[in-house]
A and B are shown apart, each in its own frame.
Chain A
Amino acid sequence: MLLPFFEWCEATALGLAVRESVWLFPAIEAVHLLGLCLLGGALLIVDLRMLGTGLTRTPVALLARQARPWLVAGVVTMLATGVLLFLSEAIKCYYSQAFWVKMTTLPAALIFTFAVRERVAARSHVAGAPVAATGALSIALWVIVAAAGRWIGFS
Chain B
Amino acid sequence: MAEQPWSIGLRESLFVWPLLELAHVLVLMLFVGTAAMLDLRLLGVTFRSVPASEFTGRLLPWTRASFALMAITGLLLFYSSPVRYYQNIFFRAKVVLLVAAGLNIWWFHSRVHQRVHAWDLTMPPPRAARLAAVLSLVAWTGVVVTGRMVAYSWFDCGLQPQSAFVNWAAGCVVPPVPEP
Kindly state the separation between the CA atoms of A22 and B73 in the bound complex, as whole angstroms.
28
* Proximity bits, B37-80, A CB within 8 Å = 1, else 0: 10010000011111000110011001000000000000000000
Stretch at the interface among A9-17, A85-93, A112-120, A142-150: A142-150
Q: Which residues of A contact B152 (CB under 8 A)?
A: 26
Assess whether B36 is in contact with A146, with CB atoms less than 8 Å apart.
Answer: no
Kindly state the separation between the CA atoms of A151 and B78 in the bound complex, as whole angstroms.
20
Q: Which residues of B contact A36 (CB under 8 A)?
A: 25, 28-29
B29, B46, B62, most chain A CB atoms within 10 A: B29
Kindly state the separation between the CA atoms of A56 and B36 in the bound complex, as whole angstroms.
19
B133 at the interface (CB under 8 A from A): no
User: Given contacts A41-B33, A54-B59, are A30 and B144 in contact (CB under 8 A)?
Assistant: yes
Assess whether B54 is in contact with A62, with CB atoms less than 8 Å apart.
Answer: no
The SS class assigned to the A binding surface is helix
Q: Which of B112-163 contact A (CB under 8 A)?
A: 140-141, 144-145, 148-149, 152, 154
A21 at the interface (CB under 8 A from B): no
Chain A: residues with Cβ within 8 Å of the partner, total of 36
Q: Which residues of A contact B18 (CB under 8 A)?
A: 151, 154
Q: Which residues of B contact A70 (CB under 8 A)?
A: 37, 40, 46
Q: Which residues of A contact B145 (CB under 8 A)?
A: 30, 33-34
Chain B: residues with Cβ within 8 Å of the partner, total of 33
Q: Which residues of B contact A154 (CB under 8 A)?
A: 18, 21
Assess whether A58 is in contact with B29, with CB atoms less than 8 Å apart.
Answer: no
Assess whether B33 is in contact with A55, with CB atoms less than 8 Å apart.
Answer: no
Kindly state the separation between the CA atoms of A38 and B35 in the bound complex, as whole angstroms.
10
Kindly state the separation between the CA atoms of A41 and B34 in the bound complex, as whole angstroms.
5
A137 at the interface (CB under 8 A from B): no
Kindly state the separation between the CA atoms of A30 and B30 in the bound complex, as whole angstroms.
17
Partner of B32, one of A22, A40, A146: A40
User: Given contacts A26-B149, A34-B144, A41-B34, are A57 and B58 in contact (CB under 8 A)?
Assistant: yes
Assess whether A150 is in contact with B37, with CB atoms less than 8 Å apart.
Answer: no
Partner of B33, one of A30, A40, A58: A40
B73 to chain A, nearest CB (A): 13
A43 at the interface (CB under 8 A from B): yes
Assess whether A26 is in contact with B26, with CB atoms less than 8 Å apart.
Answer: no
Assess whether A147 is in contact with B22, with CB atoms less than 8 Å apart.
Answer: yes
Kindly state the separation between the CA atoms of A120 and B98 in the bound complex, as whole angstroms.
38
21 contacts between A and B (CB under 8 A): A33-B148, A34-B145, A36-B25, A36-B28, A38-B36, A40-B29, A42-B37, A44-B29, A44-B30, A44-B62, A45-B37, A54-B58, A54-B62, A55-B50, A55-B55, A57-B58, A66-B47, A70-B37, A147-B26, A151-B18, A151-B22
Given A39-B29, A67-B37, 11 extra CB contacts under 8 A = A30-B145, A36-B28, A37-B28, A37-B29, A40-B30, A40-B32, A55-B54, A62-B49, A146-B29, A150-B26, A151-B18
